[in-house]
Amino acid sequence: MPAAGSGARMGKEIPKPYLKIAGRPILEHTLLKFKEIDSIQELIISTSEAYIDQTRQIAKSVFGDRTVVVIEGGAERQESVAKALQFVSDGSEFIAIHDAVRPFVREDLISACINQAKVPDVDGAILAVQVKDTIKEISGKNIIQATPDREKLWQAQTPQIFKREILIRAYREAANRKLLGTDDSSLVEMIGGKISVVESTVDNFKITYPLDFQLAKLILSGK
């Protein structure tokens, strides 16, 4: 779970995962959604150096006796995940990656994504929702070049779950080729991985901007 992001786009000095809503940091709200998922045996969180101790306390309060590892992340999300992959136990068959600031993911959808990732003829699975708006592809001069068929367009979310070996290979290849993907699935796709999509819901949004934060407060306060 990458949690090293800053609060720059939120206009806050405190990093997004540690902003409190309803008396709890966003990170804690997110972790609670994974607490009852029995197949998750270990948790690795990458965060900024200043928040390592606080993160360890939060994670232990939620995950109890299960293995919890907290490490210092990187400047980019991809670097944070790459560092976390070095701590995955050898016995793990699958790796799930989830944004620390997506606290509204449903437990049944997490389980559905895990089950889909286990299907023999795929390398992983991700949650996603079908795009509702019309999307325009533009040139460098802001001239519309194409209007893709939105029936074929899906907005990726997390968790994204992959067979351990192929995810590690994808990250190694990205590092060797100095490639930066927009999500974990894109890196697996680059090496020919076959990824399945599990339909999610729009409320599994990532808290990125002040409006997202205000909406999250309304949801968690029952309004």
| pTM, 2 dp | 0.94
Whether the pLDDT of residue 6 is over 80: the answer is no
12's tokens: 């806050």
SS (H, E, C) 67-117: EEEEEECCCCHHHHHHHHHCCCCCCCCEEEECCCCCCCCCHHHHHHHHHHH
91-129 confidence digits (pLDDT tens): 999 999 999 999 999 999 999 999 999 999 999 999 999
152-168 confidence digits (pLDDT tens): 999 999 999 999 999 99
Half-sphere exposure of 16 (CA within 13 A, CB side): 26
Q: What are phi and psi of 47, to 5 degrees?
A: -140, 180
Domains in the chain (CATH in brackets) are 8-220 (3.90.550.10)
